Amino acid sequence: MPIPKAELHLHIEGTLEPELAFALAERNGVQLPYATTDELRRAYSFTDLQSFLDLYYALMAVLRTEDDFADLADAYLARAAGQGVRHAEIFFDPQAHTARGVDIGTVIEGLARALDRSEERHGITTQLILCFLRDESAESALDTLKAAAPYLHHLSAVGLDSAEVGNPPSKFREVYEAAAEAGLRRVAHAGEEGPPSYIWEALDILGVQRVDHGIRCVEDPALVARLVRDRIPLTVCPLSNVRLRCVDTLADHPLPRMLDAGLLVTVSSDDPAYFGGYAGDNFDAVRHALPLDEDALRTLARNSFLAAFLDADEARRAA
């Protein structure tokens, strides 16, 4: 039995496996520029975040209807259950869909349909996190939050993703203030490819309660001290970091150093259809590649529930 865990860094669009992409392409009459699933998989030769994002956005063309989003999320939840996931806080990128003419309501209602049945079908409790694309304008992010207003009851938090370097958190101060006023929690990708200063901005300007990736904090001892002091969780995605060349090899990953520093780190999967593994696969990979004993692995699993947006009762039930 895989160890029970919470998945806190998971882009639902990043769970689109080639087989489902082709099935949805056919259902919707969308032409993909690849003849076979094997040919598509051969296109997964990323050299950095941007080269991954180019393919990630291109493949979303197959997602058009509420059923598509429900099927995508249900397929993910079924796989996650098999890897010991008991609670999942799931990112989605509305602007990547509205830009293609898909209504935000179609996206959210479709995802929510699968999430609402998840506890009963898969034994996984869920939350939904709306992410702003940081390479789009601050105004577009504000428009997106406004468009999501009728669906706020489906959302627990806002996040910030896509191309990091050159798009600092400070660009999104206003929309994060509005999200906080609307009662949403706040997370942001920071310190994946971007510098430690972006993590400081996410904390001090956006008021995030959790940092996604955050691995570059190890370059700044004062920042590590701040994250430890305030018990700010970091959702680390080891297989993603290697595939996007943020770290050279798994054996070089700073995860053990981060744990030793007293940081509240968790292990997550980011875009598992692209990076070679779901939550359990990421746990297995770090277990084999890094000097982490059973105690450290239990700490990582326990951290995932401590870092989740659950109250104490919910966390106990999920674990």
**Which residues in the 256-285 window bind ligand ES4 by CB under 6 A?**
270-271
Written as six digits, the tokens of 269 are 């999967």
Interaction between residue 270 and Zn ion (CB under 5 A) = yes
Cα→Cα distances 223→196, 198, 215, Å: 8, 11, 11
For residue 9, say whether it is annotated as part of any ligand binding site.
Answer: yes
Residue 41 makes CB contacts below 8 A (sequence gap 6+) with 18
Residue 192 falls in the annotated catalytic set? yes
Q: DSSP state, 206?
A: S
Residue 192's binding partner out of ligand ES4, Zn ion, none, with CB under 5 to 8 Å set by partner kind: ligand ES4
By CB under 6 A, the residues from 222 to 241 that bind ligand ES4 are 240
**Residue 161 makes contact with ligand ES4 by CB under 6 A:** yes
Q: Which is nearer to Zn ion, 24 or 187 (CB)?
A: 187
Is 161 one of the annotated binding-site residues? no
Contact status, residue 304 vs residue 8, Cβ threshold 8 Å: yes
Sign for the pseudo-dihedral over CA of 258, 212, 54, 75: positive
7 lines the binding site for Zn ion (CB under 5 A) = no
Separation of alpha carbons 7 and 226, rounded Å: 24
Restricted to residues 67-126, the positions that interact with ligand ES4 (CB under 6 A) are none
**How many chain residues bind ligand ES4 (CB under 6 A)?**
11
Pick the catalytic residue from 192, 193, 219, 294: 192
Neighbouring C-beta atoms of residue 23, cutoff 10 Å: 14
- The yes or no reply on residue 89 touching Zn ion (CB under 5 A) is no
Which residues lie below 8 Å from residue 270, measured CB to CB, with a gap of 6+? 9, 10, 11, 14, 237, 239, 240
**Choice between 126 and 162, CB closer to ligand ES4:** 162
Tell which positions 5-64 bind ligand ES4, by CB under 6 A: 11, 14, 49, 56
Q: Rounded distance, CA 272 to CA 15, Å?
A: 6
Supply the residues annotated as catalytic: 192
- Binding residues for ligand ES4 (CB under 6 A): 11, 14, 49, 56, 161-162, 189, 192, 240, 270-271
Binding-site residue positions for substrate: 271
